[in-house]
């Protein structure tokens, strides 16, 4: 079946603008994760959804970052007043139910560049 997909694949924006990044998880996966990967680093956790609710948002760096998953499938990561330091690859992953030991399948990422 189809894997995790993310759109857009690349996004260039200007400092101060608002952006939305979209993630389509594997069909039927209730757990969805957002990570951010800076150049030369491993992915860093941002937020985890179980169904429609954000079960853990402790990785969001500040209140400019927000994410939703209104119907328990597609998720949107929203960044307000973007800063140059937000430039990174934003990765989405999903797993069947969110229990430990379950494989997390990653999407191809959205490469965000803030000028």
Partner 1 sequence: GENVEQHPSTLSVQEGDSAVIKCTYSDSASNYFPWYKQELGKRPQLIIDIRSNVGEKKDQRIAVTLNKTAKHFSLHITETQPEDSAVYFCAARPPSTGRRALTFGSGTRLQVQP
Query: What are the residues binding partner 1 (CB under 8 A)?
Result: 4, 31, 33, 35, 40-45, 48, 50, 55-56, 58-59, 91, 98-101, 103-109
Question: Could you tell me which residues come within 8 angstroms of residue 110 by beta carbon, excluding any fewer than 6 positions away?
Answer: 6, 7, 8, 9, 10, 11, 21, 89, 90
Q: Which residues of 77-114 are buried (b: 16+ CB within 10 A; e: fewer)?
A: bebeebeeebbbbbbbbbbeebeeeeebbbbebbebeb
Nearer to partner 1, 14 or 101 (CB): 101
Whole-number minimum distance, CB 16 to partner 1, in Å? 28
Nearer to partner 1, 17 or 74 (CB): 74
Whole-number minimum distance, CB 81 to partner 1, in Å? 25
Nearer to partner 1, 25 or 98 (CB): 98
């Amino acid at each position: 079946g189809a894997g995790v997909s993310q759109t857009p694949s690349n996004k260039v924006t200007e400092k101060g603008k608002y952006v939305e990044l979209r993630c389509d998880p594997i069909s039927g996966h209730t757990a969805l994760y957002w990570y951010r990967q800076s150049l030369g680093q491993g992915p860093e956790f941002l937020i985890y959804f179980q169904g429609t609710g954000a079960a853990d948002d402790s990785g969001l760096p500040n209140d400019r970052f927000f994410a939703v998953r209104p119907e328990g499938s597609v998720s949107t990561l929203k960044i307000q007043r973007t800063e140059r330091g937000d430039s990174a690859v934003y990765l989405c992953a999903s797993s069947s139910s969110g229990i430990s030991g379950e494989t997390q399948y990653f999407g191809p990422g959205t490469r965000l560049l803030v000028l």
